Amino acid sequence: MQGLHLTADLSGCRDPAGLMRDGAALAALCERLASEVGLTVVGRQFHAFAPQGTAGVTGVLLLAESHLAVHTWPELSAVTLDVFVCNFGSNNSDKARQLVDALVQRFEPRHVQHQQLARGHRA
């Protein structure tokens, strides 16, 4: 199963919309952006750590194409993003890149560490 896994680890986030402490808003944004780039959401799960509204949020979207994961640490001004897409049937790599870029922008980070993995053997 071949695919592309993109990660973006953000620090110094200004987070003008307060997404790092608001699981509902972050879930809605992730879902909207995933749909806009043409990925298919088949499940979602977000969890706000206590105390809610102050501590961070962790969440995932299950995609027909694989998944998106986001974890926030407001106390560190840090966010991690993962978008993994399989390329079974069609190449979803451009959609994955668009989704990561769109999400990164919302947090207005000072630094971003981008990494990527090519996943899956040709058995």
Which residues are at the interface with a copy of itself (CB under 8 A)?
Answer: 1, 3, 5, 7, 9, 11-12, 42-47, 49, 58-60, 62-64, 66-67, 69, 71, 73, 76-80, 82, 84, 86, 88, 110-111, 113, 115, 117, 119-121, 123
Rounded to whole angstroms, the Cα distance separating 47 from 75 reads 17
CB of 79 to a copy of itself, least distance (A): 8
Rounded to whole angstroms, the Cα distance separating 30 from 59 reads 10
Cα atoms in the Cβ-side hemisphere of radius 13 Å centred on 80: 9
Q: Which is nearer to a copy of itself, 13 or 33 (CB)?
A: 13
Contact between 9 and 78 under an 8 Å Cβ cutoff? The reply is: yes
66 in catalytic set: yes
Residues that are catalytic: 66, 71, 86
